[in-house]
Structure 1
Amino acid sequence: MHGSWADAHFWDGVAAELRRSGHDVYTPEYAGHGEDPNKNVTHAMITKSVVDFITKWNLRNFVLVGHSFGGTVIQKVAEQVPDRIKRLVFWDAFVLKDGESVVDEFSPQMRQGFEQLRASSKDDTIFMPFSLFRDSFVNTATLEDAERMYENVTPEPAKPLFEKLDLKTFYSLPTPKSYVYFYQDNALPRGENYGRHPNMSRRLGQFRLIVGDGDHFTDTRTRPAMVAQKFYEAGRD
């Protein structure tokens, strides 16, 4: 499950590497993303997109991966189809507490900036400025690669980022969990009360930790085999 300011093509290179190694890989798209022109979507609509895909294809005994915002999606999907999921893998992903929204995990300055971007849009979306994308999402990329990746960035529906999620059921599930953490990921500020690992990862209770050297977006394009290997390590028995 991809994150914000991305669509299912985010996974093309990584999925190809995993398939080359003999794995079946599925990359469902969310409501409000990809070719869907409707940006007036809710988190529940996004979750339903994934659950419907899983049930349509009768998928079972699979590893469900969520990147960034996708972490909140796999939290809610796991509540609805827990018997089908073998393991949850969070890659530099949000792990929200019960009753939280994504923006609740932002610093006050970061939240204010996103609120301003939301208020300036005409369709309740948030457009990512290149300077922010460059420094926070693709900080290890060359300028050429950063500009090429930015060409695929589209405005993100704002509502799901601000919705508070009921996650009581998620925190009662016995589903095995892993967290993949890339050291150079700079998409969230780091500090005692902010950041992905260990601030959010420890909420998973017992989990497998896999680390790598990369940033938030770049390596899916430049080193997909490395990302695929980390997912294998995180998801294997």
Structure 2
Amino acid sequence: MTAFVLVSGAWLGAWAWEDVAAELREAGHGAYPVTLSGLAEKRDLPAGQQTHVADIVAEVERLGAEDVVLVGHSYSGIPVGQAAERIGDRLRRVVFVDSAVPEHGASMASAWWQGQSAFESALAENDGYWIPLTAPEFAGQDLTDDQIARIVAGATPHPGATTTEPAVLTGSLADLPATYVKCLMDGEEPSPDVAELLKSDRWRLVEMDTGHWPMFSRPRELAGILLTETAGA
């Protein structure tokens, strides 16, 4: 039985994976959504980048599983990629779902499309937190009104230190067994750093014709991809 450790992106907690987790369990596997420190029911806990890496590694240790698939969505691809290095031979595959990927010494803020200073200014204006999107900002992402309402109602401000502290890698992500899931409504091409990693024969690309939050818009399809990509991986 494969243990799928599911980690949400910014603002979200374990609750965001409920529909995907149900599909994985129905298929006979273990599904373990993680809430990272500083978010959702753990919103009162202090958190930095390495706190989130430790959260993920601690969940793998708690499970005692030897056949682990780490799944990171959006922001959480950064701590998930680091955690994938740290769990060693227990890693079956790491799946990045329309996510950022870590670069040693860099942070999410340093790669922000509007520039690091703009991102950090926004954090400073909100007491050091990254404020969740509002309902209109989810338009065009293949989400129903009910799905958008569910995300907005459950979202919590994201601790800014997790986005500004640098990633720590000991090797190359290209050496990890990995799949990158690109959600086409959020841009048709992977970012340049991901495109470079996809040149590795250990990486695979899968495309989904949906928006940036496929655990809500296409949970059954996403679960199917996770199962297919890790079967015999």
Greater percentage in strand: 2
Alignment-derived partner of residue 154 in structure 2: 152
* Residues 172 and 140 (structure 1), Cα distance of their counterparts in 2 relative to 1, 3 Å cut: closer
Cα deviation for residue 144 of structure 1 reads: 4.4
* Residues 209 and 37 (structure 1), Cα distance of their counterparts in 2 relative to 1, 3 Å cut: closer
Question: 1:146 & 1:54 partners in 2: Cα distance?
Answer: 31
1:14 aligns with 2:14: no
Question: 1:234 & 1:70 partners in 2: Cα distance?
Answer: 19
* AA aligned opposite 2:125: S
Question: 1:171 & 1:201 partners in 2: Cα distance?
Answer: 14
Alignment-derived partner of residue 63 in structure 1: 69
Task: Give yes or no for contact 1:18–1:228 (8 Å, CA) kept in 2.
Answer: yes
Alignment-derived partner of residue 222 in structure 2: 227
Alignment-derived partner of residue 99 in structure 1: 105
Gaps of 5+ in 2: 1-6
* Residues 94 and 100 (structure 1), Cα distance of their counterparts in 2 relative to 1, 3 Å cut: same
* Residues 30 and 172 (structure 1), Cα distance of their counterparts in 2 relative to 1, 3 Å cut: closer
- RMSD of the alignment, in Å? 2.3
Q: Deviations over 1:193-224 (max 9, x none)?
A: xx74454243252311111111111x322431
Query: Could you tell me which of 19, 30, 35 is aligned with 1:29?
Result: 35
- TM-score normalised according to structure 1 size: 0.84
SS in 1 for 2:82: helix
Task: Give yes or no for contact 2:37–2:46 (8 Å, CA) kept in 1.
Answer: no
* AA aligned opposite 2:181: V
Sequence identity percentage: 26
* Residues 148 and 10 (structure 1), Cα distance of their counterparts in 2 relative to 1, 3 Å cut: closer
SS in 2 for 1:226: helix
Alignment-derived partner of residue 78 in structure 2: 72
Cα deviation for residue 227 of structure 1 reads: 1.1
- TM-score normalised according to structure 2 size: 0.85
Alignment-derived partner of residue 115 in structure 1: 120
Question: 2:52 & 2:173 partners in 1: Cα distance?
Answer: 22
* Residues 81 and 72 (structure 1), Cα distance of their counterparts in 2 relative to 1, 3 Å cut: same
Question: 2:8 & 2:79 partners in 1: Cα distance?
Answer: 9
Alignment-derived partner of residue 132 in structure 2: 128
SS in 2 for 1:210: strand
Alignment-derived partner of residue 197 in structure 2: 203
Q: Which moved more, 1:66-75 or 1:36-45?
A: 36-45
Gaps of 5+ in 1: none
Cα deviation for residue 102 of structure 1 reads: 0.7
Cα deviation for residue 103 of structure 1 reads: 1.7
* AA aligned opposite 1:128: P
* Residues 58 and 202 (structure 1), Cα distance of their counterparts in 2 relative to 1, 3 Å cut: same
Cα deviation for residue 40 of structure 1 reads: 3.1
Q: Deviations over 1:106-143 (max 9, x none)?
A: 2226x555333311223x211124167424xx622234
Question: 1:175 & 1:202 partners in 2: Cα distance?
Answer: 14
Q: Which moved more, 1:8-17 or 1:56-65?
A: 56-65
